[in-house]
Amino acid sequence: MKTMAKQFLHVKCRNSAYPGTDGQIIRAFVPDHQVCWTTFFPLYNPVTYTSPSVIGKPWADFHLDAINFKPIWNIIDGKINRVSYSGQYKIQNGYPLNPYGRTGIKGRGVLGRWGPNHAADPIVTRWKKIHSQQILHTDTGQPVLQFIAIQRKDSREWAIPGGMVDSGEVITSTLKREFMEEALNSLEKTEENIAKAKSEIEDIFKNGVEVYRGYVDDPRNTDNSWMETVAMHFHDEKGDHVGKLNLHAGDDAIGVKWIDLNRNLKLFASHISYLELVALRLNCHW
Ligand code: BGC
């Protein structure tokens, strides 16, 4: 199943303080009916904010007025993917415009790239079992699915163990790398243990199914920088590959565990919506 991005109303990047600023940077209020850039909003005058934490970082762009920084929008610009899954985005006074509309803040916030910032999300699942017996939910009678979630260091929210696509990196590599770093703590493992973990996940990661590709309603988005992702589903039907791995949080994660899937989970950014697509795919309890 392949779900291309549908335009929805972003909410997590509106009408709140900007994350990581201790409430110091407040987004301008944007009512639902004025999100769209084409709606008349003469009083719209948001603050500009780019976090000091991105300035000068090797993974980040420069200020748009920096000499010698000449990004080329809407294409793969050298090794940097400036293409949006939502189609061609507009440039206004030299700044890319968020394709999902106003966010109440200009600049890059904590995001490195002007325009799209690309991520990839591996959704790893197995059936919930007790003594090898598959568990059916008492309300729906449907099998209960479990997925691997990590707890993010930045917001403390539970999330899919995804991450940013490095420049020039292919998405399949990002998916495996992020999963290994965040859910298996590969960064602190010996070469030998990394090789073992790699071979264990290799089979499962060969058979992924794309469930979402597009814009993310992420709390870090701004009018000029936003998150996009590709979410891939990897299911361990028998639970004898990744289903048996020893989970160990690492890198940007401070916790990792299998979580029973259900519609009421509160997860980071748009992650619950990709899990809904997974539930539909496997016809499990949701
Ligand atoms: C996260 C991904 C997420 C993306 C967009 C990244 O920081 O690691 O899991 O999908 O942001 O919210």
The preferred substitution site among 13, 85, 150, 164 for testing ligand 1, maximizing ligand atoms within 8 Å of CB, is: 164
Point out which residues pair with 279 in neighbouring strands: none
225 contacts 111 by C-beta, under 8 angstroms: yes
pTM of the model: 0.91
The three-state (H, E, C) secondary structure of 197-262, written as one string: HHHHHHHHHHCCEEEEEEECCCCCCCCCEEEEEEEEEEEECCCCCHHHCCCCCCCCEEEEEEEECC
pLDDT of 6 reads: 61
pLDDT of 3 reads: 42
pLDDT of 16 reads: 95
Q: How far is the CA of 57 from the centre of ligand 1 (A)?
A: 19
Q: Which ligand 1 atom sits closest to the C-alpha of 220?
A: 12
Task: Give the residue from 196, 181, 177 showing the smallest Cα distance to 256.
Answer: 181
Domains of the chain: 118-282 (3.90.79.10)
**Is the CB–ligand 1 distance for residue 216 below 6 Å?**
yes
pLDDT of 4 reads: 44
**Is the CB–ligand 1 distance for residue 229 below 6 Å?**
yes
| CA 74/CA 82 separation, integer angstroms | 5
Point out which residues pair with 233 in neighbouring strands: 123, 209
Query: Which residues of the chain are modeled with pLDDT < 70?
Result: 1-6
pLDDT of 2 reads: 41
Phi, psi (rounded to 5 degrees) for 178:
-65, -40
